[in-house]
Amino acid sequence: MAARKSTAKSNVSADELKHYYREMLLIRRFEEKAGQLYGMGLIGGFCHLYIGQEAVVVGLEAAAEEGDKRITSYRDHGHMLACGMDPGGVMAELTGREGGLSKGKGGSMHMFSKEKHFYGGHGIVGAQVPLGAGLAFSDKYKENGRVTFTYFGDGAANQGQVYETYNMAQLWELPVVFVIENNQYAMGTSVQRSTKSPSLWERGAAYGIAGEAVDGMNVLTVKEAGERAVAHCRAGKGPYILEVNTYRYRGHSMSDPAKYRTREEVQKMRDERDPIEQVRDMLLTGKHATEDELKAIDKDIKNIVNQAADFSKESPEPALEELWTDIYA
């Protein structure tokens, strides 16, 4: 159960690389637009952006198969886009409009898609971890070969319910990939300030759960690790832990004074480790794409995001009667 070194090589096709570039760029531009709409007062309440962490969800989605499930925290827009949920529907939910995926009544942290097997969006830190094991229990019971990706943060990883879940998941050999998105901070608290055992994935050893740490800024290493995790689960060997080391560029939420780290720290990450720039480099230096081709992708993504934003402004607010619907399932 030793930590693995990054092994991802560039024996990956041009189309595959372009796909990752597109998917990560969609999340980046979507989140930038959400930040703008928030600044304009069109989005209210909490809004947690995923900028910087794009390679995590895009790499893991590349390891998933149709029917696999995903569940995550409140930092969820990237997960929704990566599993194919409609950008217009997500953005309109952020602006609280009728065309939103929860009819404008859920907002940023509460969207779901039965069709895409996306089970939320959970605002209570760590709450999705036992729920993710429950989804995997259902799949094991049905013997359908499906795997559940259960995402949570480094802060959540210090919660008791995570370890109760580890114990049961391993005992029952549930097909669940626990993905610790270690973005180095839980609100304003760095990992160094919250634990003396910074290798979070190794805690699974106490329950006999296999796992590894992964470079989460490199979409190819994430995908490779995701494939190992999924293969482990599908072979009936029980859960697997991936600690994906990543970084969030923006504040915890839109209201974050950002006093707990320096601007230089963030800039260094952007300059040296950016997940999108890494793939851009691979595409250009490997001659898999020209600057013009990449520009065309950028333009296409910009259009998709602008259309989503227009839809999110034009869609009406939910009717008053909607207050009385969708209360109980």
Ligand X SMILES: Cc1ncc(C[n+]2csc(CCOP(=O)(O)OP(=O)(O)O)c2C)c(N)n1
Nearer Cβ to ligand X (65/265): 265
Is the Cβ–Cβ distance between 148 and 175 less than 8 Å? yes
- Contact positions vs ligand X (CB under 6 A): 73, 75, 123-125, 153-156, 183, 185-187, 252
Q: Which does 124 bind (CB under 5 to 8 A by kind): ligand X, Mg ion, none?
A: ligand X
Nearer Cβ to ligand X (102/184): 184
Nearer Cβ to ligand X (125/254): 125
Q: Which does 71 bind (CB under 5 to 8 A by kind): ligand X, Mg ion, none?
A: none
Q: Which amino acid is at 48?
A: H
Nearer Cβ to ligand X (158/221): 158
Nearer Cβ to ligand X (157/294): 157
Q: Which amino acid is at 195?
A: T
Applying CB under 5 A, which of residues 154, 212, 215, 274 lies at the interface with Mg ion? Answer: 154
From the list 327, 264, 306, the residue with the least C-alpha distance to 34 is 306
- Indicate whether 153 belongs to the interface with Mg ion (CB under 5 A): yes
**Which tokens belong to 32?**
């930038």
Q: Which does 87 bind (CB under 5 to 8 A by kind): Mg ion, ligand X, none?
A: none
Positive or negative torsion for Cα 87, 90, 95, 97: positive
**Which tokens belong to 302?**
């910009």
Write down the least CB distance from residue 280 to Mg ion, Å.
26
For residues 85 and 177, give the distance between their C-alpha atoms in angstroms, rounded to a whole number.
21
For residues 293 and 196, give the distance between their C-alpha atoms in angstroms, rounded to a whole number.
47
Q: Which does 252 bind (CB under 5 to 8 A by kind): ligand X, Mg ion, none?
A: ligand X
Residue recorded with tokens 């805690």:
203
Tell the burial category of 137 from Cβ atoms under 10 Å away from its Cβ (0-12, 13-18, 19+): middle
Nearer Cβ to Mg ion (248/280): 248
**Phi, psi dihedrals of residue 155, rounded to the nearest 5°:** -65, -45
Query: Of 64-72, 146-154, 228-236, 292-300, which part binds Mg ion (CB under 5 A)?
Result: 146-154
**147 three-class SS:** coil
Write down the least CB distance from residue 14 to ligand X, Å.
32
Applying CB under 5 A, which of residues 183, 246, 278, 312 lies at the interface with Mg ion? Answer: 183
Indicate the pairing of strand 148-153 with strand 240-245.
Answer: unpaired
Q: Which does 134 bind (CB under 5 to 8 A by kind): ligand X, Mg ion, none?
A: none
Give the CB-nearest residue to ligand X: 153
- Indicate whether 243 belongs to the interface with Mg ion (CB under 5 A): no
**Which tokens belong to 185?**
């901070």
Which residues contact Mg ion (rule: CB under 5 A)? Answer: 153-154, 183, 186
